[in-house]
């Protein structure tokens, strides 16, 4: 949006509208069809696209299609309003701009998905969930988040200092000239056309919007407002628990009750655990579900990974798991996992899961005993191997 603002023109607004059109109604549908083609069969050999589950079809932009141009007109003019530049209501002028714009070329995404039925079958077989193979493997989560936070801080500064002026479009369904209902009509009808279902005209769309908007303006607005207020506190550095609030709100009887949230539950050591039938030690004492242990010494073999916890925490690690996969279990009959000790953890995971790791780390869990001989619990381990 910042780059668009700095080079604002109605032609740029048309380009944004075209890119959105191609992304939502053409490219995304092609990605879906590449995963589930028309002749795709489910695990039982039945047609995947059958009954109420209609196969979608991509829509290629055609400047002579009235619905396509309705979307471009409405979308481009709404963006122009946001940027504070003059709108263009001449359809032929907008058509000319849309015709001469070479949209972004379609690049197929490499995505793995599974249906609910396939997920149940996989879980029953004890297999791990499929991982998405991204076109370019990402960095560690912390680095991604850090980069996004820095970018957000720069954008925030530009808005706070008044360098950027973006106008919000307040929805008004009864003004037929503001492109609001026109945009909703075109958007919904394009999606209906993707799936070859009945389209709705302008007036029916306005009627539907008239029923939905009151709910958005009441319950939805109230919830998002309350949650966003808590987010504002967090990003400003508020750190005390009593500075945050839980909300109980009942609009039907006009009750608004805000209370101090409970402390996060902490895992503590026990002298006797009924599941393990003995003492169990929390490492570190009082950790929460939001904590993790980071091992950033990879790549490691299983033996070096086990030695790391022996030397740093004096723990005897006898089991290492990743999700549903048992990577190492010292209690296997005949010590069958002993040959894995000199192998790399990530390589073994990929061999067992028949999957390439999309990120540069694995989330592991370990089991074993302390020097005193008691079992232990600890947060998930983020093992960074690259």
* Residue 372 pLDDT > 80: yes
Domains and CATH numbers, the chain: 2-137+173-200 (1.10.10.2660), 223-259 (no CATH), 270-384 (3.10.290.60)
Distance CA 34, CA 106 (A): 13
Who has greater pLDDT, 109 or 9? 9
Q: Give the 3-state secondary structure of the chain.
A: CHHHHHCCCHHHHHHHHHHHHHHHHHHHHHHHHHHCCCCCECCCCCECCCCCCCCCCCCCCCCCCHHHHHHHHHHHHHHHHHHCCCCCCCHHHHHHHHHCCCCCCCCCCCCCCCCHHHHHHHHHCCCCCCCCCCCCCCCCHHHHHHHHHHHHHHHHHHHHCCCCCCCCCCCCCCCCCCCHHHHHHHHHHHHHHHCCCCCCCHHHHHHHHHHHHHHHHHHHHHHHHHHHHHHHHHHCCCCCHHHCCEEEEECCCCEEEEECCCCCCCECCEEEECCCCEEEEECCCCECCCCCEEECCCCCEHHHHHHHHHHHHCEEEEEEEECCEEEEECCCHHHCCHHHCCCEHHHHHHHHHCCCCCCCEEEEEEEEEECCCCEEECCCEEEECC
Q: Which tens digits make up the pLDDT trace of 163-183?
A: 557 788 888 888 999 999 999
Q: What is the pLDDT of residue 118?
A: 66
Stretch among 46-50, 195-199, 353-357 having the lowest mean pLDDT: 353-357
The answer to whether 93 and 15 have CB atoms below 8 angstroms apart is: no
Who has greater pLDDT, 121 or 56? 56
pLDDT class of 137 with cuts at 50, 70, 90: very low
> What is the arithmetic mean of pLDDT over 96-116?
81
The answer to whether 374 and 273 have CB atoms below 8 angstroms apart is: no
* Residue 354 pLDDT > 90: no
Task: Tell me the pTM.
Answer: 0.57
Who has greater pLDDT, 193 or 120? 193
Residue-averaged pLDDT of the chain: 86
- Look at the alpha carbons of 89, 90, 94, 95 in this order and tell me if their dihedral is positive or negative: positive
Name the pairing type of β-strands 278-282 and 375-377.
parallel
The answer to whether 58 and 25 have CB atoms below 8 angstroms apart is: yes
* Residue 146 pLDDT > 90: no
Q: Calculate the CA dihedral of residues 216, 222, 224, 227 and round it to 10 degrees.
A: -170
> Could you tell me the two tokens for 380?
């998930």
Distance CA 173, CA 180 (A): 7
* Residue 187 pLDDT > 50: yes
* Residue 131 pLDDT > 60: no
Give the residue carrying structure tokens 């299983």.
302
Percent of the chain with pLDDT over 90: 53
Distance CA 98, CA 118 (A): 42
Distance CA 302, CA 327 (A): 9
Q: Which tens digits make up the pLDDT trace of 239-286?
A: 888 899 999 988 888 899 999 998 889 999 988 888 778 889 999 999
Q: What is the pLDDT of residue 135?
A: 41
CB atoms within 10 A of CB 69: 19
Give the residue carrying structure tokens 């700095």.
6
Q: Which tens digits make up the pLDDT trace of 206-245?
A: 999 888 877 777 888 889 999 999 999 988 889 888 899 9
Who has greater pLDDT, 133 or 76? 76
């Amino acid at each position: 949006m910042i780059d668009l603002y700095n080079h604002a023109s109605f032609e740029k607004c048309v380009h944004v509208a075209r890119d959105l059109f191609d992304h939502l109604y053409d490219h995304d549908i092609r990605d879906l069809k590449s995963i589930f083609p028309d002749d795709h069969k489910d695990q039982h050999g039945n047609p995947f696209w059958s009954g109420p589950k209609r196969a979608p079809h991509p829509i290629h932009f055609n400047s002579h299609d009235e619905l396509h141009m309705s979307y471009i007109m409405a979308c481009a003019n709404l963006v122009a309003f946001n940027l504070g530049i003059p709108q263009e209501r001449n359809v032929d002028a907008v058509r000319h701009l849309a015709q001469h714009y070479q949209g972004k070329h379609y690049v197929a995404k490499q995505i793995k998905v599974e249906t609910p039925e396939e997920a149940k079958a996989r879980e029953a077989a004890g297999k791990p969930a499929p991982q998405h193979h991204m076109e370019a493997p990402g960095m560690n989560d912390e680095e991604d988040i850090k980069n996004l936070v820095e970018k957000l801080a720069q954008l925030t500064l530009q808005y706070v200092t008044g360098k950027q002026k973006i106008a919000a479009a307040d929805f008004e369904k009864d003004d037929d000239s503001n492109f609001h209902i026109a945009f909703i009509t075109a958007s919904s009808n394009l999606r209906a056309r993707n799936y070859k279902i009945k389209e709705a005209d302008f007036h029916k769309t306005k009627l539907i919007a008239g029923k939905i908007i009151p709910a958005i303006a009441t319950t939805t607005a109230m919830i998002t407002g309350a949650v966003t207020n808590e987010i504002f506190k967090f990003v400003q550095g508020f750190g005390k628990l009593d500075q945050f609030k839980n909300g109980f709100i009942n609009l039907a009887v006009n009750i608004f009750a805000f209370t101090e949230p409970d402390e996060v539950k902490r895992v503590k050591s026990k002298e006797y655990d009924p599941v393990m039938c003995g003492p169990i030690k929390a490492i570190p004492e009082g950790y929460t579900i939001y904590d993790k242990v980071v091992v950033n010494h990879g790549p490691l073999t299983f033996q070096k990974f086990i030695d790391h916890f022996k030397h740093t925490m004096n723990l005897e690690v006898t089991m290492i798991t990743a999700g549903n996969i048992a990577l190492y279990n010292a209690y296997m009959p005949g010590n069958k996992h002993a040959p894995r000790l000199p192998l790399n953890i990530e390589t073994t995971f990929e061999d067992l899961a028949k999957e390439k790791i999309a990120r540069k780390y694995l989330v592991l869990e370990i089991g074993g005993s302390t020097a005193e001989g008691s079992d232990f619990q600890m947060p998930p381990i983020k093992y960074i191997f690259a």
